[in-house]
Amino acid sequence: MSKRLLLPLIPLLFVSPVQADDCANATTQGELNQCATQENRAADKELNRLYQKITARLKDNATAKQLLVKAQRAWIDFRDAECSFSASGVEGGSVHPMIHNECITTLTKARIDAFNTYLSCKEGDLSCPVPEA
């Protein structure tokens, strides 16, 4: 391969990943994909933080903790399958990562809401599986 063919690719080596502040102004599909990935990672981090809080509260209840693990694994399987299906219409296209990540983020945020509900149950709420702190 000649050096002339590689020269136009050199600027691509210096392109930095989209920063969170730039996501409001993202215009290219690559930028939009990166922003969707960043949002997905942030939601996943929050979900994991809440999951750890719940498991800490369940430390004295092995059965409930085991049920939480089973439910979370099933939820992850559902989330992944649902988002694969949801994004299947754009499979192979440049928009696919964004559509898939947006789906994952939406479902993760719904799970975060459920976890927050578990963590804010009032004493005496018999429908709540997570004891008050």
Asked whether the predicted pLDDT for residue 6 surpasses 90, the reply is no
Q: Tell me the average pLDDT across 35-51.
A: 97
pLDDT of residue 16: 46
Asked if pLDDT for residue 114 goes beyond 90, the answer is yes
The domain ranges of the chain are 40-87+100-114
Mean pLDDT, residues 32-45 taken together? 97
**Which long-range contacts (C-beta less than 8 Å, at least 24 apart) are formed by 93-102?**
94/29, 94/30, 94/33, 95/29, 95/32, 95/33, 97/33, 97/36, 97/37, 98/29, 98/32, 98/33, 98/36, 101/33, 101/36, 101/37, 101/39, 101/40, 102/36, 102/39
User: What number is the average pLDDT over the span 20-36?
Assistant: 89
Mean pLDDT, the chain, as a whole number? Answer: 88
- Kindly state the percentage of the chain with pLDDT values over 70: 84
Residue 29: pLDDT band (50, 70, 90) is very high
pLDDT for position 9 = 44
